[in-house]
Amino acid sequence: MSSNLNDICDCCGGSENQLILQLFGDKTFGITDGTSILEDFSLSDFAMPVDGHTCVGLNIESTGGTHTIFNNNLPIPLTELESGKDYARGVLLKITYPTNDLNSEEILIGDKSVELEIETFDGISTTYPLYNLFIMFTNPKSNDPAKLINKIEIINPNTDYAIRITGLVVFGTSL
């Protein structure tokens, strides 16, 4: 186990007493102080039916770029999903930031942020700050549009560095 953030990633500007959230090989997220796990959250029993998938791997430039991770293109108003159609039901996203900005200055961990815009089934969008990991799963077998996110976009508002997005979008077929 690493004792500080700098041992994990030399771009993070950690401190020796900083607790970290880390994913371990046994599918467990743990809060660690570098020598022991203080709390853990196991994903070892997680499973979700998947009827399709797509992988995401792209760069968003430093000019305020936006990328749609998925869009279910739900018509509004909508009371029931179309039977037998695949809809995005889950996503795992990881944002990778560069060590230095375009001016060759180190990017501090507090300055590493993009925006995650989530549009619900009824067309309402909300924007959230995002550091580097986002995981979301909805009901994999339902015809209720309220149990589905319509669209997710990642926005890089930073004008002094580009980001890298990697992810996995999984699809479930409606009943």
The pLDDT confidence band at residue 23, using thresholds 50, 70 and 90, is confident
Mean of the per-residue pLDDT values of the chain: 86
Rg over alpha carbons for the chain, rounded to the nearest Å, is 18
CA distances from 63 to 30, 38, 162 (A): 35, 40, 8
Interatomic CA distance for residues 12 and 81, integer angstroms: 43
pLDDT at 16: 63
User: What is the rounded CA–CA span in Å between residue 31 and residue 13?
Assistant: 18
Predicted local distance difference test score (pLDDT) of residue 63: 66
Checking if the pLDDT of 28 tops 50, the result is yes
Q: Where are the domains of the chain?
A: 5-42, 52-173
For position 25, what pLDDT does the model report?
87
| Residue 18 to residue 171: CA distance in whole angstroms | 37
pLDDT at 1 over 60: no
- What pLDDT digit, counting tens, does each position of 58-109 carry? 777 766 788 999 999 999 888 899 999 999 999 999 999 999 999 999 999 8
pLDDT bracket for residue 57 (50, 70, 90): confident
2 has pLDDT over 50: no
pTM attached to this predicted model = 0.82
Do 44 and 26 form a contact (C-beta atoms < 8 A)?
yes
DSSP 8-state secondary structure symbol assigned to residue 101: -
Angle at 90 between CA 126 and CA 22, to 5 degrees: 90
3-class SS at 5?
Answer: helix
Quick check: 54 and 92 in contact, CB under 8 A?
A: no
- How confident is residue 12, by pLDDT bands cut at 50, 70 and 90? very low
Strand order across the beta sheet in which 66-71 lies: 66-71, 149-155, 114-120, 125-130
Q: Which CATH class is domain 52-173?
A: mainly beta
Residue 52 structure tokens = 């399709």
pLDDT for position 62: 63
